[in-house]
Amino acid sequence: MSDLIAGSRAGADAVTNPMTNPATNRVPNAATGSTTTEQDLIARAAEMNVGVGVMRIDNGEDMQRWVDQHICAVRQEVWSILPSGPYPLDVLRSSWDGDTNLIARGVKLKIVYQSDAVRTPPMMQYVSDLASVGADIRILRRLSHRIMIFDRRVVFIATQPDTLDLPYLMVSEPALVRNFRNQFAGHWRVAHSIGITAEDVLDVERVHEILRVLASGATDEAAARQLGVSDRTIRRRVAAVMDLLGATSRFEAGVKAVEAGWL
| 110 and 133 share one domain | yes
Q: Please determine, for residue 34, whether its predicted confidence score (pLDDT) is greater than 70.
A: no
Confidence of residue 39 (pLDDT cuts 50, 70, 90): confident
Answer for the pair 86, 121: CB distance below 8 angstroms, yes or no: no
| 157 and 124 share one domain | yes
Could you tell me the residue range of the domain that residue 225 belongs to?
204-260
| 158 and 47 share one domain | yes
Report helix, strand or coil for 68.
Answer: helix
> pLDDT tens, 174-230?
999 999 999 999 999 999 999 988 888 999 999 999 999 888 999 999 999 988 999
The residue ranges of DSSP E strands in the chain, in sequence order, are 27-28, 35-36, 54-57, 77-82, 108-114, 136-140, 147-150, 154-158, 168-171, 192-194
pTM of the model: 0.85
Domain count, the chain: 2
Report helix, strand or coil for 158.
Answer: strand
Please identify, among 168, 194, 220, the residue that sits at the C-terminal boundary of a domain. Answer: 194
The percent of residues in the chain predicted with pLDDT above 90, rounded, is 72
Answer for the pair 36, 145: CB distance below 8 angstroms, yes or no: no
| CATH number for 247 | 1.10.10.10
Q: Please determine, for residue 99, whether its predicted confidence score (pLDDT) is greater than 80.
A: yes
| 71 and 13 share one domain | yes
Answer for the pair 159, 167: CB distance below 8 angstroms, yes or no: yes
| CATH number for 82 | 3.30.870.10
Confidence of residue 2 (pLDDT cuts 50, 70, 90): low
Chain-centroid distance of CA 18 in Å reads 18
| 233 and 121 share one domain | no
Is 2 part of a structural domain of the chain?
no
Is 3 part of a structural domain of the chain?
no
Chain-centroid distance of CA 11 in Å reads 16
Is 1 part of a structural domain of the chain?
no
